[in-house]
Amino acid sequence: MPRPLRPLTAPNPLTLAVLAACAALGAHAAEEAPALSTVTVTAKGYAADDLQTPGSSAAFEREEIVASGAQNVGELLRGEPGLAVASDGAQGQNPAIRGLKRESVVLLVDGMRLNSAQPAGAIASFMSLGLADRVEVVKGPSSVLYGTGALGGAINVLLPQARFEPGVRFDAAAGYDSASKGLRGTGVVNLAQGDHALMAGVSLAHLDDYKSPNGTVPRTGYDSESFIGQYRFRIDGQQQLRASYQQHTDEDVWYPGSTKFVNPVIGSTTVRSPKQERTLAELGYSRKGAGEAPLNIDVRVWRQEMERQIWSHASGLGRENSKTRVSFTTDGLDARADWLAHPQHLVSFGANAWRMEASPERYVAGAAPTFTLGRNDPFSNGQIDALGVYVQDDMRFGKLNVLAALRHDTVEGSAASMNNGAVTGGLARRDSAFSGSLGAIYEISPLLRPYVTLSRGFRAGEMRERYEASPRGDGYYYVGNPQIKPETATQLEIGVKGQNEQAAWQVAAYRNRISDYITGRVTGAVINGMQVKATENIGRVTLTGFEAQGRLRVAAGHWLNAGLSVLRGDNDTLDEPLFQMPADELSLGWEGRVAEGWTADVTGRFVRRQDRVATIFAQGTENATPGFVTADLGATYRWQKQSLRVALKNLADKAYHEHLAEGVSGQEILAPGRSLQLTWKGSF
């Protein structure tokens, strides 16, 4: 007899928080008890067992996030199989999934899309990781659930939710690292009585310029503060209303990876942000179904505002040579449902709609000798509208799980003008596309579950790629393309995964072919004495990779861990390696109980030299990166509901930088050197 699908919970944040908490408790007990299967919500759009999902994903619990000492999402994901980080500073850590960077990765917070055009920095840094309960990553094209942009995958940061637990609960964490003399603190309180629940949280961070093995790296310090709040009202046993608010502010952020020499008079320019702020407000309704064919519903409306000051400091002038103020405002509506239509069919369907608007105000230095700042807006009244609808069927036939999904998206961009008002025609473009996925996984045994999945993704040009047309602080003259064609990606992935009380593992091989690949290319042309970087479709690229990771219990309370990433990117049009691909790497580690209440861990990261670099496309802007090895040590003491962790990062004080670090070729800033980290976490 085929096993019936169990009715799954509605895709609302409260359910996700409860599942994450259960998984975290399971992770703590894993020293002796059998490891629990990972539950994720991002891969299928609702809570689902990873071992019944045909595809690759990763999840990081609250315990891991706090213990990592990471300040942002990019730093947390660095070194994980299939994941990398493209950095232009300490705050600007952009996650990359299988070689695809920020424009090709959809970032979500509690399932809501973070939209912004990012000339510098990382959109993933516009939130406090210190508040996160869980971070989930789906690797590979995910447009079928998340729409335009998800060619590389999706990252979902799940924040605390108001819980109907009578009384008052307080969770807190604090950390320090010696490399930046950084101080961090987080506190979250939950109050509930009857049908009312209230959650509020705050996170603060102060970081000085960090030290590398070669000395202090200037302009890497900054200050951050975050606030979150949520109120929930339980209408009855099935229905809830919620109101949520998020605010994050960074001050005095520099992006030293953007430093570029312009000329002897202006000197070198470096992009910085005196202040940048993200706010998000949400109203939501959820209903949990009942009976033999339950229908679960979740509907939300939200607004996000991303306000940035983007200055360019010129060393020769001793002041800014450009200033930009911009607010990216996005209004969104998400509606989704899952329905147990048949014991073997869990059908989910939904619609997502959003509109992003921006009108940057930019002032750029004129000619010598005064270099007076004059108005030169890249574009005005830019707008992107997106609408997508999808349906998915999660089918169970005995030990075979089949997942099929189809989506249609329409994306339309427009602007009133670009190039400081010089261009007013030909600025509208509308694109439509189908995305889909078909996958199957079969349980031969708990440790042997082979799977295969075919997925198609879609990405229309974002606002900066369409309408950027002006000098920018990094020394290039940017030329946008309002008629840029959308990218389409088709990926075939074959893998196997499994888990029991003694081991957990996953291996995946994939090939992702992208047509009409969008990129910013240095053309060799010069406008107003500046090199031109133009947005273009360069034809077809192919990404081929292999990933493996595993965990083995070698003795009671002792585990060995390993991870491997191998990736090859090819620019098929130019017949050369694709620009800025992560290097191959291997990680090996051990963790185990060493005394009553104490666990210890050691991790080694072995990164291969990356000499597969672009030459024709890059025109000398990409150089080979030496290989490197780093080691981290840590020890954690747990008592009652508290823990204290002591760790040494980069134990050997190795001088290195990631291959995707931004900067003038050969002059990229070094990563932090040896650092002592202290972390405390507690619940009351």
**What are 48-63's pLDDT values in tens digits?**
999 999 999 999 999 9
CA angle 379, 385, 387 (to 5 degrees): 160
Lowest mean pLDDT among 77-91, 107-121, 272-286, 547-561: 107-121
Q: Phi/psi class of residue 167: alpha, beta or left (left: φ > 0; alpha: ψ in -120 to 50)? A: left
How do residues 289-311 score in pLDDT, each as one tens digit?
998 899 999 999 999 999 999 99
Residue 369: is the preceding peptide bond cis (ω within 30°)?
yes
pLDDT of residue 471: 65
pLDDT higher than 70, residue 622: yes
What CATH class does 13-683 carry?
A: mainly beta
Q: What's the CA angle centered on 131, arms 311 and 116, to 5 degrees?
A: 35
CA within 13 Å, CB half, 430: 3
For 632, how many CA atoms within 13 A lie in the half-sphere containing its CB?
Answer: 23
Contact 140, 510 (CB under 8 A): yes
Q: Alpha-carbon distance 82 to 49, whole Å?
A: 20
- The CA dihedral of 53, 56, 61, 66, to the nearest 10 degrees, is -170
**CA 664 to CA 658: how far, in whole Å?**
14
- The DSSP output letter for 14 is H
pLDDT of residue 13: 38
Instruction: Tokens 């940057």: give the residue.
Output: 360
Convert the pLDDT of each residue in 375-430 to its tens digit.
989 899 999 999 999 999 999 999 999 999 999 999 999 999 998 899 999 999 99
Q: Per-residue pLDDT averaged across 601-625, rounded?
A: 91
Statement: residue 2 has pLDDT above 90: no
pLDDT category of residue 22 using cuts at 50, 70 and 90: very low
> In the predicted model, what is the mean pLDDT of residues 130-155?
93
For the segment 224-268, what is each residue's pLDDT rounded down to a tens digit?
999 999 999 999 999 999 999 999 999 999 988 888 888 888 899
Confidence class for position 218, pLDDT limits 50, 70, 90: very high
- What's the pLDDT at 489? 95
Q: Which pLDDT value is given to residue 120?
A: 63
462/478 Cα distance (integer angstroms): 14
Strand (E) or helix (H) holding 59: strand 56-61
| Of the candidates 442, 546, 561, the residue with the CA atom closest to the CA atom of residue 498 | 442
pLDDT of residue 7: 34
Q: What pLDDT score was predicted for residue 300?
A: 97
Residue 531 confidence (pLDDT): 76
Local confidence band at 511 (pLDDT 50, 70, 90 cut-offs): very high
What average pLDDT does the structure give for the chain? Answer: 89
Amino acid 474: pLDDT: 55
Tell me the β-bridge partners of 61. 134
- Indicate the domain borders of the chain: 13-683
**38 has pLDDT over 70:** yes
233: amino acid identity, one letter: F
413 closest CA partner among 479, 486, 517, 521: 486
Residue 423 DSSP one-character state: B
- Inter-CA distances, 453 with 55, 137, 228, 241, 619, Å: 7, 17, 37, 37, 37
Q: What is the pLDDT of residue 118?
A: 62
Query: What was the pLDDT predicted at 93?
Result: 85
Bridge partners, 604 (sequence order): 588, 631
Give the whole-number percent of the chain exceeding pLDDT 90: 73
Measuring CA to CA, which residue among 443, 341, 404 is closest to residue 52?
443
Task: Give 24's pLDDT tier (boundaries 50, 70, 90).
Answer: very low
Q: Which of 139-143, 150-154, 425-429, 526-530 is least confident?
A: 526-530
Distances (CA, A) of 290 to 8, 9, 47: 11, 10, 17
Decide if 657 contacts 152 (C-beta within 8 A).
no
With a cut of 70, say whether residue 177 has pLDDT above it. yes
Question: What mean pLDDT is predicted for residues 173-195?
Answer: 96
Nearest alpha carbon to residue 296 among 49, 11, 39: 11
